[in-house]
Structure 1
Amino acid sequence: MHFIITDASLAKSRAIHLSGTRLVLAFMATALALMIAAAGLYHWVFLKGAREGWPVFGALVKLVTKDDVEQRERFVRENVDAMARRLGEMQAKLVQMEALGERVSGLAGLSPADVRGSPARGGALVSGRPLSLEELQAALSEFERTAGQRVDVLTVIESRLLDQKIRSMMMPTQRPLAAAPLGSAFGWRIDPFTGKQALHTGLDFEAVTGTPIFAASGGVVVAQELHRDYGNMVEIDHGNGISTRYAHTSRAFVKQGDLVKRGQKIAEVGTSGRSTGPHLHFEVLVGGVWQDPRKFLDAGSRPSAGTPVAAASPQPAASRAGR
């Protein structure tokens, strides 16, 4: 495309040649300039009419603003309703958690009233009247407070159950010998050395020399010594005033101050001390008072064994170990 520009005053002309590419670029530049100018003019006229209250422009501004506000309100309402439904579901789960806490509280030694606290409110929050944003915020605050209370109560329950588990693990309920027949039981009998009636303060398990002896529960070794009556003896403190003794051993694999675990090998059967033959004399003491070890061992052999309660009643003087 050729353009010829003629200047009459100078009596000269000028020719301009535009290729296809140049023509397209020129057209696009012109269109862009017109669009910018139109947008600027529209913006200026629109704002001026809105500020000065021109009849046509004022109505347009109100219409556009109203549509925008309605869209925002509809968006907020949909989100508030969705959040309310979700909060209702969470409150329903909180009610289930409260019921579970009441059932578990009995195992932890707590009353249901301690677990229940303030009553939980379940069900959906969205009813016939939609919730306002302020009501939803208040419901969220109440839910957060109630959930915090439940967490505190469940933490207490966990602590109680953990304490009970530790106490049960520290009870001497495991047999000190894997499979050994019971010889002399706990109680009054004829002493094999004096021929007189005496209290046998533990259980005698018959086994050959060298049979492994295991700790009936975890604890600390408070004595490993050669005793006149008990012979080579190991005594373990299990806490809460409970201790066990393992007498007449041939060898001890622990020493005073050692920390032992339940089922750990601590010695081997022998016939040292006041003994008529190889066996293990096993004692359980509560507060320094002899108790019948069978109450503890029988509790450990039951699938749902509870904590054995040993009455710490004074015992008369007795001949200690021996058979």
Structure 2
Amino acid sequence: MQIMITHGGLARTRVVSFSRMQLSLAIAALVLVLLLASGAVYHFIFLKAAREGWPIVSQLVKLVVHDEIAQRDRFMRENLDAMAVKVGEMQARMVKLEAMGDRVTGLAGVKPDDLKVMTAPAPAPAPGPAASGAFRATPGVGGPYVPLDHPTLDQLNLALQGLESQAEQRTDLLTFAESRLFETRLRALMVPNSRPIASDVIGSGFGFRTDPFTNRPALHTGLDFAADVGTTILAAAGGVVLSTDWHPQYGHLLEIDHGNGLVTRYAHTSAILVKAGDLVKRGQPVARVGTTGRSTGPHLHFEVVVDGVPQDPAKFLAAGPAPALPALAQRTLVPTPSGPLGTH
């Protein structure tokens, strides 16, 4: 780019040449100068006019600033209203979750006394600087969420904090109920209420009878299932193998510990398929029918013992999937016989 400069009093013309780079730099410098000038004018004139209340300029500045503030407030109000709707939906869901938690805890058998600590209000610091370390309990609050027409940010923060606290409490409550349900299911699996052998033929039941060897009245401490030698014997419940020893009257005797002082015995077996210390589950093959020990023929002598006292196995087998063990034990306790541990 070339610029020709002429003057009437001069005989020659001066020519000034600019490259593209020089022209770009000149334009950039001009723009920068204009920006600095406009900033200086705004800072020293408009802001000063707004502060000192100049007649015309201050009103223009106030209109611009007021419009910007109104737009920002409108944007924030729309966002706060949307957040309030979401908070209302979350609290409605929390109410449903609370009702579901109450039903689940009822099914789990959780007592109201167990929930007093969980549902009690959290301790809050007592007011005043001299009350460090002292706490006072705040009264409980609750109820459905009714959103305000124009909630503030502080109100939304308080609502969100309350939702977070309720969610943590509901989570703890459901976890507690889950543990109770698992405990109930585990106890059901540990109670011998399934038949140890696939046979409906009962030789002798629990109670007094005439002993086949002495022909005298004696207590039969178990339930006899008639079956052929070699018939598979199943664990009546899950537990740990207590012993697999030989007994002069029981013959090959298997004992399984089910916890809470409850033990099952499988006597007169021809073979034992597990060893002491093994963990067995309900329905697992553990032995085979035989006629060892004090026995008149092939059968399984099945016993249930609670705290060392023989019980009627028929009551356990007929009690269903999860009988109440303490109450059942109290109803079926009988005196320990003075004679030998078992007959046949």
Q: TM-score range by the shorter chain?
A: 0.7 to 0.9
| CA shift in 2, pair 1:130/1:306, >3 Å | farther
Q: Where in structure 2 are the equivalents of 1:1-323 lying within 5 Å?
A: 4-5=4-5, 12-13=12-13, 32-53=28-49, 54-112=54-112, 117=119, 118=140, 120-123=142-145, 125-127=146-148, 129-179=149-199, 181-300=201-320, 305-307=322-324, 309-311=328-330, 313-317=333-337, 320-323=341-344
TM-superposed CA distance for 1:28, in Å, is 6.5
| CA shift in 2, pair 1:98/1:15, >3 Å | closer
Quote the Cα distance in structure 2 between the aligned partners of 1:99 and 1:28. Answer: 73
Quote the Cα distance in structure 2 between the aligned partners of 1:273 and 1:81. Answer: 84
Quote the Cα distance in structure 1 between the aligned partners of 2:5 and 2:150. Answer: 74
Quote the Cα distance in structure 2 between the aligned partners of 1:4 and 1:82. Answer: 66
* Deviation by residue 1:267-321 (Cα, 9 ceiling, x = unmatched): 1111100111111111111111111112222234x6xx54452325232515654
| CA shift in 2, pair 1:177/1:130, >3 Å | same
| CA shift in 2, pair 1:119/1:177, >3 Å | farther
The answer to whether the 8 A contact 1:49-1:58 is kept is no
Quote the Cα distance in structure 2 between the aligned partners of 1:4 and 1:106. Answer: 100
| CA shift in 2, pair 1:105/1:39, >3 Å | same
TM-superposed CA distance for 1:253, in Å, is 1.9
SS in structure 1 at match of 2:150: coil
The answer to whether the 8 A contact 1:180-1:207 is kept is no
More deviation, 4-13/229-238: 4-13
| CA shift in 2, pair 1:90/1:113, >3 Å | farther
* Deviation by residue 1:91-132 (Cα, 9 ceiling, x = unmatched): 222222222222222333334576594564224x324x4222
Q: TM-score, normalised by structure 1?
A: 0.84
Quote the Cα distance in structure 1 between the aligned partners of 2:179 and 2:311. Answer: 29
| CA shift in 2, pair 1:229/1:245, >3 Å | same
TM-superposed CA distance for 1:42, in Å, is 1.7
TM-superposed CA distance for 1:6, in Å, is 5.4
SS in structure 1 at match of 2:245: strand
Sequence identity (%):
47
Quote the Cα distance in structure 1 between the aligned partners of 2:74 and 2:286. Answer: 76
Quote the Cα distance in structure 2 between the aligned partners of 1:90 and 1:114. Answer: 27
Give the partner amino acid of 1:175. Answer: R
TM-superposed CA distance for 1:229, in Å, is 0.8
Quote the Cα distance in structure 2 between the aligned partners of 1:243 and 1:195. Answer: 29
SS in structure 2 at match of 1:276: coil
The answer to whether the 8 A contact 1:232-1:247 is kept is yes
TM-superposed CA distance for 1:322, in Å, is 4.2
Give the partner amino acid of 1:122. Answer: P
The answer to whether the 8 A contact 1:168-1:307 is kept is no
More deviation, 79-88/221-230: 79-88
The alignment yields a C-alpha RMSD, in angstroms, of 3.0
The answer to whether the 8 A contact 1:50-1:58 is kept is yes
Quote the Cα distance in structure 1 between the aligned partners of 2:280 and 2:61. Answer: 85
> Any gaps of 5 or more consecutive residues in structure 1?
none
Figure out how many residues of one structure are paired with residues of the other and give that number: 314
Quote the Cα distance in structure 1 between the aligned partners of 2:40 and 2:107. Answer: 77
Quote the Cα distance in structure 2 between the aligned partners of 1:59 and 1:193. Answer: 121
| CA shift in 2, pair 1:316/1:306, >3 Å | closer
| CA shift in 2, pair 1:256/1:135, >3 Å | same
The answer to whether the 8 A contact 2:316-2:323 is kept is no
